[in-house]
């Protein structure tokens, strides 16, 4: 709680228009969807709106479930699937593969998924940490898939 103290002359009036929280619990917007050029500066955004239009029903459903389940500071969502029947696991796996291909989600650990921080923003103070984790996991997965032992 902040205390405001002011000394006013007889003819003066103190006017306070808005009180704003210093730290928002969630970002005021959901995604960084803009990309392109701005005055010779490349904007490296993520076309979330275009990617979402291309998703299947199951992949879209999984994505929004993960967004709902995520920790807003880390963008990691825990989705237990060990007790699901085989047909639901298959559906989940297929939807996950689609999200991974569209660069929206990557499996962080078993039953833990990391959502692309440029598609859905984590808390402001943790963006760099989440982005570094995202890039690290993506690079590791790319190296694993491209590595072919002799």
With a cut of 70, say whether residue 20 has pLDDT above it. Answer: no
pTM of the model: 0.70
Reported as a single tens digit per residue, the pLDDT across 67-108 is 999 999 999 999 999 899 999 999 999 999 999 999 999 998
Degrees (nearest 5) of the Cα angle 65, 48, 145?
A: 80
* Distance between CA atoms of residues 142 and 137, nearest Å: 9
Give the largest CA-CA distance in the chain.
Answer: 88
Calculate what percentage of the chain has a pLDDT beyond 90. Answer: 45
With a cut of 50, say whether residue 118 has pLDDT above it. Answer: yes
């Amino acid at each position: 709680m902040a205390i405001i103290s002011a000394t006013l002359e007889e003819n003066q009036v103190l006017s306070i228009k808005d009180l704003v929280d210093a730290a928002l619990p969630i970002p005021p917007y959901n995604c960084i969807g803009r990309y392109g050029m701005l005055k010779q500066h490349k904007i490296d955004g993520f076309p979330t709106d275009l990617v979402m239009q291309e998703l299947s029903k199951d992949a879209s459903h999984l994505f929004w479930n993960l967004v709902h389940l995520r920790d807003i500071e880390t963008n990691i969502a825990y989705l237990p699937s060990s007790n699901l029947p085989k047909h639901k696991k298959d559906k989940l796996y297929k939807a996950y593969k689609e999200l991974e291909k569209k660069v929206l989600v990557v499996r962080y650990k078993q039953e833990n998924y990391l959502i692309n921080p440029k598609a859905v923003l984590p808390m402001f103070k943790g963006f760099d940490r989440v982005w570094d984790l995202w890039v690290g996991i993506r690079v590791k997965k790319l190296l694993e898939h491209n590595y072919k032992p002799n």
